[in-house]
Amino acid sequence: MNTRPSKKLVDFREASELSWGSTVLVTLYREICRATQPLKNKISSCILLLQSWARYRLPFLRP
């Protein structure tokens, strides 16, 4: 799945039909994999989404 925004996407009604959840998940996974490289020291996407997902899906992480 290509996660880059399409320049052809002009009709915003069509945007609601896209799989945004999959796109966000792919982006988070890619950034987590890149963060494991020795010279990389931060994740460049919205880690807050991953944290909220983890708290929702993994109850033992809740305070």
Q: Is pLDDT of 7 > 70?
A: no
Name the least confident of 5-9, 25-29, 42-46: 5-9
Q: Are 50 and 27 in contact (CB under 8 A)?
A: no
d(CA 44, CA 52): 17
Residue from 7, 1, 52, 8 nearest 27 by CA: 1
Report the pLDDT averaged over residues 5-11. Answer: 57
Query: Higher model confidence: residue 3 or residue 19?
Result: 19
Report the pLDDT averaged over residues 45-58. Answer: 77
Q: Are 15 and 32 in contact (CB under 8 A)?
A: no
